Structure 1
Amino acid sequence: MRAEFSSDLAAAGPVEETTFRTHDGTELFYRKWPARSDKAKGAVVLLHRGHEHGGRVAHLVDELGLHDFAFYAWDARGHGRSPGIRGFSPSFADSVRDLDSFVKHISASDGFAVEDMAVIAQSVGAVLAATWVHDYAPPIRALVLASPAFSVKLYVPFAREGIRLWQKLKGQFFVNSYVKAKFLTHDPERIASFESDPLITRPIASNILLDLYDTAERIVDDARAIIVPTQLLISGSDWVVRHAPQHRFYENLAHPLKERHVLKGFFHDTLGEKDRAIAIAHARRFIADRFAAEPAILDVTSADETGFTRDEQDRLSSPHDLLSLKGLYWAIYRGSIRFSALFSKGLKVGVKTGFDSGSTLDYVYENQPRGFGPGGRLIDRQFLDAIGWRGIRQRKLHLEELIGAALTRLQGAGRSTHMLDIAAGHGRYVLDAIAQSEAKPASVRLQDYSPINVEAGRTLIADRGLAATASFHQADAFDGDRLAETMPSPDLAIVSGLYELFPDNSLIERSLGGLARAMKPGSLLLYTNQPWHPQLEMIARALTSHRGGEAWVMRRRTQAEMDQLVAAAGFRKIDQRIDQWGIFTVSIAERL
């Protein structure tokens, strides 16, 4: 099989072929080229285009001339020599998590810190890389994106809408690529190798194509959350993807170390074009410059004062004129919620206690529509199926998974397993996680500021017969001094759904500081975040908070901001989960 693309591999020098185990246990194939110097400066990860495989980017190893770097190129799930249905992944988010697993594998197996890695990616691979950097916030040294497929030209009118409708009616299906090799590059050798390569994957699953569009729109619009040095290479005569989203993405990037190069006459295969030496020279210089200097970390811990999410919060906090069209629209919307609350149990709980309250959250977790008659239950079902609540339930699953993993890790290290949740709501997700975990905690201390939540949580503990090991206390999660005095010292501390409700970073710093003082080195912290939400304006204009019925206006934190706050308190992030919509994350960090 290697003979089919041996020319690329031979030019790249000695190559090792092996696999790594990704997040769901699948073994994905990759190639590794060790550095040709005694000590590698860093690692460069190469991500191929859609339909292709790692062998198609192998020529870059030699052509970049960065011989004191190790290179890695995978075959993405469902591509090349990696397993799976051709052109398929369970979701685009799963493929992004594959990339996160790949980088973790490189770090664990070869000792490269994430700070000593660069990524070069093309087309769909470039969207994967941009999404990974946005959603997981890895502090890599440099990111080079070549013709990212933020918007694929389908040419058929309403093709995207048709694909979405057909998938909804008939289920997942496959779309074959229409692109001929001669529209990808002017290089006759690349054209010939593309046409003869048996590992080229023509079909793409409909769910991945739709996810690609949806994810790309989110990442382009929210590119200010990306804070790593980034170079964008745009093919000037691209037949495959549109230019406008690439330019908008670049303009939104937050890091001052960013470059954009429009390559006149280039087709879509930017790094495989006939004149690719021009593009490769840009990438070589950019990466070399980034590694010649100290890591250019952009501090965003003051984003609550001067960041773009603060601007967004201020805009959402400003009421519309009641007699304006928008003012009237949202007044009617709020009225419809209050009216529907007469029939829907979930809306009634939200109106009474606040849509961000522990009571509402517990109702969402139960996910059982209730209300007055069939109509009330139908309204309640629509309420529970809102994308934000679906994300909340996925967050609960991720919390349960990581709580179990944390307890197992602590137990395996021979440590005690005392748990603390500083704002547990009713505590359902913690108790459910403990019930499902093979490793059990030595003690569980749940806390919340609300007497309603404390009473409900104590009832849950009693109903489950856990009074011997679990207790519930009323406490302020932002009282750092009191947190620091927690006894026994927590081996696993949990902060879920709390920091997202408070825009002020000084509160978060006080809370994290107290936890850090309470926890011994090697202890674990689980924390959640909300880096993005598709319904921020609806929530701010129509829903009320638990704080006296005021408008529920959220300031979202980018994942980079949240991770930096956690790091500043003395923790090192280990792992992360994120839902398929990019709304909620759950991360685990170790006390240093």
Structure 2
Amino acid sequence: MRQQQEKTFISHDGCKLFYRYWPAQDSETNSTQAIVLFHRGHEHSGRVAHLADEIDLPNYQIFAWDARGNGQSEGERGDAENIASLVKDANCFIDHITHQYAIAQKDLAVIAQSVGAVIAATWVHDYVPNIRALVLGSPAFSVKLYIPLAVPGLKLLYNFKGNFFVNSYVKPKLLTHDTQRAESFAQDPLITRRISVRLLLDLYTVSDRIVEDANAITVPTQLLVSGSDYVVRRKPQKLFYQNLGTEQKEFHILPGFYHDTFGEKDRQIAIDRAKRFILGCFANEPQSPCLLNADRVGYTRLEADNLALPVTGWIKPWYWKFIKANLKYASKLSEGIKLGFETGFDSGSTLDYVYRNQPTGSSKLGQFFDYTYLQSIGWRGIRQRKVHLEELLKLAIDLLHRHNQSVDIVDIAAGHGRYILETITQIADKPDSVLLRDYSDINIRDGQALIAEKGLTSLVRFEKGDAFSRQQLAQLSPKPTLAVVSGLYELFGDNQLLCDSLSGLADSMPEGGYLIYTNQPWHPQLEFIARALTSHRDGQPWIMRRRTQLEMDQLVAHAGFKKITMRIDQWGIFTVSLAQRIK
């Protein structure tokens, strides 16, 4: 039997989370290879502790954690703000063990089950860790609720009365044929039978996103699917597997298995397949596909090309004409929609209006239209992106101060520069210099007015500049120690433009300087944006090519930067990353 240690770590918001640790049995091998276990929903790490011995990998370190609100971790039982907070917890846990135990990400494999498998898959999709293998046991991409219209009904009740809890209907005997394990489930005081409706509904939303965009996952992945599962549906599991972006993938159906795949009576079948897959992945050198040319070939390029095609059929053309006509009508009453048509829905002026988030219209109806417009999921994501930008700005400024380096900030496409200016006003130790740049005369004019309004004319200057000119960026003065590129690269699908821009910043920045950059790996309204909204570029349709986070990170690394940390909103739309200039 392996010796178990019980430990805790502090997650992103100060919540103390519990985990179990099994050191490698042969301490003389100095093994840095490790396996991380994610438990099922309602359960805890003690329910997967048997795998530490049964997988029979004595030279691997093994970790298993209790998700917040479960087991011995802090947090309200069966609840969290959203699935994204649990995914962020997982990212914090991996950061903790890689630093605390000196384990590289490439030496990690993950085994996860049910809801834990959804959390693990989302973490791999959103944070693009360079782990060696991902094994998913019966991922809960779609829970069987059996009651007709259960999900719409829960949504209606949630919107009417707010968050509430429901109890799991699953009987222990429907989880496993192992009678002893079923009895232990029924008697375990750490089992959390209830789950918040907020979390349950978000599980469906996140699962739909991850299944649809699984092509972004390039980590070798194995699915072990229970053949007689009364808890979750198989169809999304198959679709996820088909969409996976890795060539190293396996899909196994285990006949007769109930939902508790790794806790079944014949679980050694599943365990042996997981072990074989993990050892095979560790026998290979870790490889990530090169995505520097994903703007020319790849699934996001195909997606953008399809959006650029005219709408065909009988119904769709009329549908989009109806949508555009309604928007045109609303623009006569709503200031935000009117501004979008005048300057482009992707313009700096529109962005600043979205940041201010103050519904304005010529009438009560116009204000209602404007409120609805500002509450669209894309604009909510934009405002959360601003929060993350300000958070990482403060972090980067603090890091520069701690290392006694000057703080010279440049934003190469600042729009009105609101997030930079508001961050500066909030901190005690001001930067040494701030340079805002933009190509638009309107943005420069309004940005200068905002600088004066904030009383920062002695510190901040605004000039016209080309964010894609390597020569201009290489000649920035003073040389920036902190460069910001926000909301720009998402608007241009051509990777050569980004390479020129990033290379120019790398040319101008000293070693150790910081880069903050944003990305849009996902958007649920891409077709609506392409069919109904216009760009700042001569009023053309606003067609965006998404970049997976791996593609964006590779472009940044190619220019000479090393990514340090990242933030992502709860919908998975926008990311904000911090990288450091290296040799």
User: TM-score normalized by structure 2?
Assistant: 0.98
Aligned to 1:220: 211
Which one of 3, 7, 11 corresponds to residue 18 of structure 1? 7
Q: Mapping of 1:130-529 within 5 angstroms? A: 130-321=121-312, 324-529=314-519
Q: Distance in 2 between matches of 1:125 and 1:579?
A: 20
Aligned AA (1:157): P
Structure 1 stretch 142-151 or stretch 558-567: which is displaced more?
558-567
Which residue matches 2:59?
Answer: 68
RMSD: 1.1
- Distance, in Å, in 2 between the alignment partners of 1:489 and 1:108 is 32
Q: Matched residues in 1 for 2:233 and 2:123: separation?
A: 21
- The one-letter amino acid paired with 2:296 is E
Identity %: 57
Q: Distance in 2 between matches of 1:363 and 1:545?
A: 16
Indicate conservation of the 8 Å contact 2:42/2:193, yes or no. Answer: yes
CA distance in 1, matches of 2:547, 2:510: 27
Report how far residue 46 of structure 1 moved: 0.4
* Distance in 2 separating the partners of 1:298 and 1:512: 21
- 1:30 aligns to 2:30 (yes or no): no
Give the superposition deviation at 1:455: 1.2
In the other structure, the counterpart of 1:90 is 81
Asked whether the 8 Å contact 2:32–2:103 carries over to 1, the reply is no
**2:579 counterpart of 1:589:** yes
CA distance in 2, matches of 1:307, 1:262: 30
- Partners of 1:489 and 1:107 in 2: CA distance: 34
1:296 positional shift: 2.0
Tell me the distance in 2 between the aligned counterparts of 1:370 and 1:319. Answer: 33
User: Structure 1: any 5+ residue segments left out of the alignment?
Assistant: 1-10
Q: Which amino acid aligns with 2:136?
A: L
Q: Distance in 1 between matches of 2:5 and 2:510?
A: 41
Contact (CA 8 Å) 1:237, 1:265: kept in 2 or not? Answer: yes
Q: State the alpha-carbon separation in 1 of the partners of residues 504 and 369 from structure 2.
A: 43
Per the alignment, in what secondary structure is the counterpart of residue 473 of structure 1? strand
Q: 2:175 and 2:110 mapped to 1: Cα distance?
A: 22
Measure, in 2, the Cα distance between the counterparts of 1:415 and 1:590.
Answer: 14
Deviation track 1:400-434 (CA, whole Å, cap 9, x = no partner) reads 11111111111112211111111000101111122
Task: Kindly indicate whether the alpha-carbon contact (under 8 Å) linking 1:536 and 1:554 is maintained by their aligned counterparts in 2.
Answer: yes
CA shift, 1:364, in A, is: 0.6
Instruction: Give the secondary structure class of the aligned counterpart of 1:305.
Output: coil
CA displacement 1:425-484 (0-9 Å, x = unmatched): 010111112222344211111111111111111111122121221111111111012211
Q: Distance in 1 between matches of 2:511 and 2:339?
A: 41
Q: Which amino acid aligns with 2:563?
A: K
Query: 8 Å contact 1:404–1:438 — kept in the other structure?
Result: no
Instruction: Say if 2:24 and 2:60, in contact at 8 Å, map to a contact too.
Output: yes
| Aligned counterpart, 1:566 | 556
Confirm or deny: 8 A CA contact 2:32 2:102 kept in the other structure.
Answer: no
Taking the aligned partners of 1:419 and 1:222, their CA distance within structure 2 comes to: 35
Corresponding residue SS for 1:134: helix
Give the C-alpha shift of residue 580 in structure 1: 1.0
Which is further off, 295-304 or 555-564?
A: 295-304
CA contact under 8 A between 1:224 and 1:253: conserved in structure 2?
yes
Question: Which of the numbers 517, 530, 538 marks the counterpart of 1:540?
Answer: 530
Shift in Å, 1:566: 1.1
Q: Report the more deviating stretch, 284-293 or 388-397.
A: 284-293
What CA distance in whole angstroms lies between the structure 2 residues aligned with 1:47 and 1:437?
39
Range moving further from structure 2, 367-376 or 293-302: 293-302
Q: Indicate whether 1:116 and 2:93 are aligned.
A: no
Which range is displaced more, 517-526 or 502-511? 517-526
Correspondence 1:104 to 2:95? yes
Indicate conservation of the 8 Å contact 1:404/1:439, yes or no: no
1:113 to partner: Cα distance: 1.5
CA distance in 1, matches of 2:443, 2:30: 56
State the one-letter code of the partner of 2:44: H
Q: Does the residue aligned with 1:260 lie in a helix, a strand or coil?
A: strand
Q: Is contact 2:415-2:444 (8 Å) kept?
A: yes
User: Partners in 2 of 1:333 and 1:170 — Cα distance?
Assistant: 32
Contact residue 115 and residue 141 of structure 1 kept, 8 A: yes
